[in-house]
Structure 1
Amino acid sequence: MKFIIAAVLLFSFSVHAQPVEANKFADVEKEFQSLAKKFGVQLSDLGMYATVGEGQDMKVLLDINSKKTMIPASISKVATASAALAHFPPGHKFKTQLLASAESKNGVLKGNLYLKGGGDPSFVSENMWYLVNAFTRNGITRIEGDIIVDDSLFDKVRYDVSRQKERVDRAYDAPTGAMSFNWNSVNIFVRSNGKGNGADVFIDPQNDYIRLVNKAKTVAGSDNKLLADRQDDKKFEGDVIHVGGSIGQGLKEVVIFKNITQPDLWAGYNLKSFLAQRGVQLTGSIKNGVTPEKADVLAESESKAIEQVVADMNKFSNNYVAEMLTKNLGAVKKTKGASLADGMQVINEHMQSLGVPADQYRLESPSGLTRENKMSSFAMWKVLQHLRNDFQVQPEFLTSLPIAGIDGTLKKRMKNSKAERWVRAKTGFLTNVVSLAGYAGIEDGNVITFSFIYNGSTDEAKIRSFFDNLLIYLVK
């Protein structure tokens, strides 16, 4: 229902908006200059383009270096979302399957169980439970074989070269795989256990892929000085995580998110754990491989609808989802081993189809987690304007964006101001890069389409405040 409401709201702007008054935005340039001076922003570091209204009533509000190519950071995901919504219709779902080529008898499957990934970025514990529960209805309680994880839909490149070269074990830098689970990250919960004692550490979901080394301590106070790092151990095929440092006894619980390194084995070990909890015994081990052509489907789980997956990407600027969607775009043309490069070709072809000037963008990463992407604010505006005008994708995209003062990466921005709930936009951030691109509604029914990019050395917090205050002015 919320998607329908969003569609009606934005569509009503197009139908019932009043003509833009000639003098209504007469002081925009003056306000812009005043705010730039207040926050110490150099105009040469900006690329900005904003319009209000549409058709013959469209008025350009800001045009600051709009044709200059700059590092866009995570607003790159707007182009990724546009291509994904163009190629996957609303309601499209990715499938994850359990299959077998051997027959079962008296509750025993005499052969391998295949876990086949369909590129679902949103496959989490709830989906695994659904898949396992569906599997148990086959009456199988023992698997005399291995769990074979088939993630052949995508290539084996887990960390694409378009990302920043330095790997970190944080959740936002999670690897990709056609068979992925829980954002390819693990939750580590740490609880204090009385001053002078150790600390209780829990892995969720608990499985044999993770080996936990707990050296954390409980100390006086309420400080969080916990450290969690992944350590190399060539004798162990999973990931070894060391938790150290200290947690204050005044803290009830602290959660730490860490990515894993091998999505296929990670998913396979979790499947084994979930099966065991339903009383299904596995005699073999976890391996990767390819499903036989004549294998029978024993259970199937569908992903969220594509519009909800796009929202997962945009609301929280999830780089993992951006790359998973891009490899799925590559899989549209390539049924095995789809790469990020295959998907980026589709995204760039989509950009060309929108008439985005070829000399004003270069996209190598779908997430923007790179300094190699380049885009002008006008090029980004062209994509936003397409998404605003194409009713086939408009409501889905609009609903995917963070809402000022309400949720996602804009939850704490423009809160309790005139712009709260009136701005929906994608954020972007890298060192010395701040960007914001989306829509601002005004009470007369008109909508401002804007694209703001900053590349410079001014404190990023000041730039965000500069952008926010300018939008607050435009809205009111």
Structure 2
Amino acid sequence: MRFFILTTAMLFSFSAKANLDAKFAQDEMQSLAKKSKVQLSDLSMYASVGEGENLKVLLDNNGTKLMIPASISKIATASAVLATFPPGHKFKTQIWITGDVDKKGVLKGNVYLKGGGDPSFVSENMWFLVNAFLRNDIKRVEGDIVVDDSLFDKMRYDISRQKERVDRAYDAPVGAMSFNWNSINIFVRPGAKSGDDARVYADPENEYIRLVAKTKTKAGGGEVFADRKEDPKFDGDLLHVGGSIGVNAKEVTIFKNITQPDLWSGYNLKAFLSQRGVSVTGAVKTGNTPSTASLAAEAESKAIEAIVADMNKFSNNYVAEMLTKNMGTLKKEKGVTLADGMVAIQEHMQALQIPKDQYHLESPSGLTRENKMSSYAMWKVLQHLRNDFRVQPEFLQSLPIAGIDGTLKKRMKGTNAERWVRAKTGYINNVVTLAGYAGLEDGRVITFSFIYNGATDEAAVRQYFDNLLKSLLK
């Protein structure tokens, strides 16, 4: 009898979850909005549970209203990318050479660093590329390092981005030959005693970056900053590091974007070659790889699904633009623009039969106020990604997990929604968005798209979205 009672209780709990319906969801949406002082007129929300014949629409509040989606625009970008490039697809970065190598290992010619549009090309990849280059038994280059950045155009910051720059990897400049997210880390540590110069380091170190360190150690501490300065005699980035740091303070990290991805990559190649004992006598410059050059080394990127995860987990606009330009290379061999890649996204949206009057996309990242989308249109993209087995696993693993990682690491932590919500976040001034999936213990999945455009404090809107999801998952 005791076993029967326990089983009945378990079945009742299961049944309660299985009876989630539209009335409950609508009531919760309205009740929580009132408590959070969020106006329903400022919201476009659409959500469903189940699939196929068992699909139920749970929420539809201004579902077809055009709104600014901010960074959940990357869901449409990810969908187009995964439809364009099969799982496991990789981009290639190459070193080509001209001239002859003598018996002493001297190359009397140029080294060409050719970018293949890899947004994930970082120090580990450069080491791999240099190690492969060393197997050509070249110990000295009596020529230049020429960076071939010609696959993409020279537009580093597309006009679709907001004009205000942010010194973070997610807002870095774009180039077919890019390195370390086109960003540098500056580390500052206090000196031995008050009045001493602080210790300042750049990572990675190379000739492209010049640091002018004027940071002091003070008993009372202070603030450390880095400003970019202009110097017509220097073709890299000149950074002045100033301010003060407490004598007992921990290391301070300053993030700065570089301005010229091609030269930045070339100088880093020179530095990595130097560390392996290969000297380069010439300059670092830009140019095209001649048809007479020979392939000397090649490095592959991470798989495309891992790069999409880099984009979505951390809402990286740089990766979004790099991937979009890569889609443009399928129809254009050189000088690919962001507009060329946006054609692929537009064609993908049309293939999914998204109503044309419910979206307008100019930017793949969403860092703009020009993008417009309804919550229903975004829901349609999410439903496609959920139901197409060819892309579903790759897309799902790219999303931030509530309470665990990415932009949802600190949200819904320690609640019933932790690990049960996987979603893309979005935010620009007066815009807060969240779209993705919420799993129920009975195996069903809620697909949701929440878009807010209004003046309510963004923290309150985020909390409203989180509370609504927690309520639906009870």
TM-score range, shorter chain: over 0.9
Please give the residue correspondences for 1:33-72 in structure 2 after superposition, counting only pairs within 5 Å. 33-72=30-69
What's the counterpart of residue 95 of structure 2? 98
CA distance in 1, matches of 2:381, 2:160: 22
Is 2:249 aligned against 1:265? Answer: no
Q: Percent identity?
A: 72
1:365 alignment partner, SS class: coil
2:378 alignment partner, SS class: helix
Contact 2:85/2:304 (CA < 8 Å) preserved in 1? Answer: yes
What's the counterpart of residue 449 of structure 2? 451
- Structure 1 position 19, deviation (Å): 12
- Structure 1 position 434, deviation (Å): 0.3
What's the counterpart of residue 404 of structure 1? 402
CA distance in 1, matches of 2:446, 2:345: 25
CA distance in 1, matches of 2:19, 2:409: 33
CA deviation digits over 1:10-54, x for unaligned, max 9?
Answer: xxxxxxx99994555542222111110111101111000000001
Is 2:73 aligned against 1:76? Answer: yes
Contact 2:420/2:439 (CA < 8 Å) preserved in 1? Answer: yes
- Structure 1 position 110, deviation (Å): 0.7
Please give the residue correspondences for 1:22-421 in structure 2 after superposition, counting only pairs within 5 Å. 22=19, 26-106=23-103, 107-193=105-191, 194-221=193-220, 225-421=223-419
CA distance in 1, matches of 2:436, 2:70: 14
Higher alpha-carbon deviation: 23-32 or 170-179? 23-32
CA deviation digits over 1:169-224, x for unaligned, max 9?
Answer: 44332110000000000011111113222211100000000110111122225x66
Contact 1:330/1:342 (CA < 8 Å) preserved in 2? Answer: yes
CA gap 1:19/1:89 in 2 versus in 1, 3 angstroms: farther
The letter for the 1-side match of 2:99 is A
CA gap 1:414/1:224 in 2 versus in 1, 3 angstroms: farther
- Structure 1 position 233, deviation (Å): 1.5
Which of 433, 440, 443 pairs up with 1:442?
Answer: 440
What's the counterpart of residue 431 of structure 2? 433
- Structure 1 position 245, deviation (Å): 1.2
Report the RMSD for the aligned CA atoms in angstroms. Answer: 1.5
CA distance in 2, matches of 1:385, 1:224: 51
- Structure 1 position 234, deviation (Å): 1.6
Higher alpha-carbon deviation: 294-303 or 443-452? 294-303
Unaligned runs of 5+ in 2: 1-13
Contact 1:169/1:230 (CA < 8 Å) preserved in 2? Answer: no
CA gap 1:79/1:40 in 2 versus in 1, 3 angstroms: same
CA gap 1:330/1:23 in 2 versus in 1, 3 angstroms: closer
CA gap 1:224/1:93 in 2 versus in 1, 3 angstroms: farther
CA distance in 1, matches of 2:222, 2:56: 51
CA distance in 1, matches of 2:108, 2:412: 60
CA deviation digits over 1:54-92, x for unaligned, max 9?
Answer: 111111111010100111000000011011100000000
Higher alpha-carbon deviation: 196-205 or 257-266? 196-205
- Structure 1 position 229, deviation (Å): 1.4
CA deviation digits over 1:401-437, x for unaligned, max 9?
Answer: 0000000000000000000000000000001000000
- Structure 1 position 332, deviation (Å): 1.2
CA gap 1:329/1:23 in 2 versus in 1, 3 angstroms: closer
What's the counterpart of residue 460 of structure 1? 458
What's the counterpart of residue 12 of structure 1? none
CA distance in 2, matches of 1:18, 1:256: 53
CA deviation digits over 1:301-339, x for unaligned, max 9?
Answer: 000000000000000000100000011011111111111
CA distance in 2, matches of 1:249, 1:439: 48
CA gap 1:230/1:171 in 2 versus in 1, 3 angstroms: farther
CA gap 1:281/1:452 in 2 versus in 1, 3 angstroms: same
CA deviation digits over 1:139-189, x for unaligned, max 9?
Answer: 100101100000111011111110112334443321100000000000111
Runs of 4+ in 1 over 6 A off after TM superposition: 17-20
CA gap 1:23/1:297 in 2 versus in 1, 3 angstroms: closer
1:27 alignment partner, SS class: helix
Aligned length: 459
Contact 2:21/2:56 (CA < 8 Å) preserved in 1? Answer: no
1:400 alignment partner, SS class: coil
The letter for the 1-side match of 2:33 is A
CA distance in 1, matches of 2:295, 2:15: 56
CA gap 1:368/1:23 in 2 versus in 1, 3 angstroms: closer
CA distance in 2, matches of 1:200, 1:33: 55
Larger Rg: 2
CA distance in 2, matches of 1:172, 1:59: 37
1:245 alignment partner, SS class: strand
Contact 2:21/2:58 (CA < 8 Å) preserved in 1? Answer: no
- Structure 1 position 114, deviation (Å): 0.4
